[in-house]
Chains A and B, each alone.
Chain A
Amino acid sequence: MLSKRIIPCLDVRAGRLTKGIKFRENLDIGDPVEAAREYYEQGADEIVFYDITASAEGRSIMLDVVKRVAETIFIPFSVGGGIKTIEEMRQVILAGAEKISLNSQAVQHPAIITEGARAFGNQCIVLGMDVRKTPASHRIPSGYEIVINGGRTPTALDALWWAKEGERLGAGEICLNSIDADGTQDGYELTLTEMISTGVGIPVIASGGAGRPEHLLDVLTTGKADAALIASMVHYRNYTIATIKTFLAENGVGVRNLW
């Protein structure tokens, strides 16, 4: 049986983590390569790096991070944030990332999804969606709207429509982030996740709101997500990936055993 994936997300700015992660010794570290190694050893099924650097100099630092991560961990990892061209995608993939996450760029230039999928395969292209709840309307019948630029800019795109459109354009996976739930640690947006997961034929990674292992159980069962993104709950060492997986396994969710 295919396992449900647990995916820690690391935010990187100019080659350093924006929030450190706590190590076993409770040491706070900011090196994304060491953080990736820590989560790999704990049993992460995949890792997401989100690069919030905009400058060209920041980009080349990020490529160096990707190379060092690829030499250190032997599970898939993806990189997102500000990637705008096929050439930039190629550099990140050759540096060792399996997948590229496209977010605002995909909304502004949807053709990049198709071009990326043609160049590197659908499995390489993750459509990142930031979503905010809104009153259902003629334009936004699902009641969930796509927002871009870190949640600042509404787009008047319906989230369910955009998810299906992304799949049609060639995305191999969706990373679905609820702006409302993000940072609350009160649990994932289950209604949204269930709607998108059942609405498309590609895997959906739920993101935003994870604070306790019960939240992952909810989103992987009720929410029908294929994978769950986590951040603070492991960065601050309130939980380890191993303890989360043990909890999920005890509650009947198929997870990969670390051997």
Chain B
Amino acid sequence: MVGIVDYQAGNLTSVARALSFLQEPCVITDDSNVLDRASHIIFPGVGAAGTAMANLRDKGLDQHLRKWVQNGKPVLGICLGSQIIFDNSEEDDAACLGIVPGSVKRFPPQLGEEVPRLKIPHMGWNSVDFQKQHPVFQDIPRQSSFYFVHSFYTAPDDEDCVAGWTNYGIRFCSAVAKDSLVAVQFHPEKSGRPGLMLLTNFCRWRGDHA
């Protein structure tokens, strides 16, 4: 059973719908007891980092997320969920979970060399250059496109945890893999075949790197 963490951060039903399509049982909940029993955790979310962190702390879910990753439970962060695993975010100047060392930055307002300037948010389909062999990215062609919607990007301190790069005016980290945690800036539940493949792989993954 996949536990989808409900922390009032946007509409979580699209992730649940994709899992239902893949015939993977799932539950959307903010109950840490239920999530404790889940074999896998998906941590999605859209919205602002400050509010999201406040909601997580209110429910004590911040401690649980750290614990699940420490204990080797497979955790998948999506979009905002892939940002607040870092130390801090320029959005709301929020202190975040600190599971992965690094920060979350705003795309610079004058992005790219072209005229007109690149638009923010970065919205639409962009390719991900996967960096490493990882069970969650298995069988996904290296330059596959995924659907993105975001104005902030993640900047890990240690590039060893970068699992994918994407170009949008600058090169930014669009996928992270560290221990039993995988985090993606894009929306696999809205990215057609490669996205569904990623979700399938995640549900079969046991948190190891073999």
CA distance A125 to B117 in the complex (A): 21
CA distance A100 to B192 in the complex (A): 20
Q: Which residue numbers of B lie inside 8 Å of A, CB to CB?
A: 10-11, 13-14, 17-18, 20-21, 46-47, 116-127, 141, 143-145, 147, 149, 167-168, 189-196
Which 4 pairs, one residue from A and one from B, show the smallest C-beta to C-beta distance?
A: A256-B125, A256-B145, A3-B125, A123-B149
> Which residues from 74 to 100 on chain A have a C-beta closer than 8 Å to any C-beta of chain B?
74-76, 93-94, 96, 98
CA distance A172 to B124 in the complex (A): 12
Q: Is the CB of B21 within 8 A of A71?
A: yes
* A19-36 Cβ-contact flags toward B at 8 Å (1 or 0): 000000000000000000
Give the chain B neighbours of A226 by CB distance below 8 A.
Answer: 119, 124
Q: Which residue numbers of A lie inside 8 Å of B, CB to CB?
A: 1-3, 5, 40, 45, 70-71, 74-76, 93-94, 96, 98, 121-123, 172-173, 197-198, 201-203, 224, 226-227, 256-259
Give the chain B neighbours of A258 by CB distance below 8 A.
Answer: 192-193
Give the chain A neighbours of B21 by CB distance below 8 A.
Answer: 71, 74
Q: Is the CB of A74 within 8 A of B11?
A: no
Give the chain A neighbours of B119 by CB distance below 8 A.
Answer: 201-203, 226
CA distance A201 to B121 in the complex (A): 9
CA distance A122 to B11 in the complex (A): 14
> A49 → chain B, closest Cβ, in Å?
16
> B120 → chain A, closest Cβ, in Å?
7
With contact pairs A71-B21, A74-B21, A224-B116 given, residues A259 and B141 touching in the complex (Cβ less than 8 Å):
yes
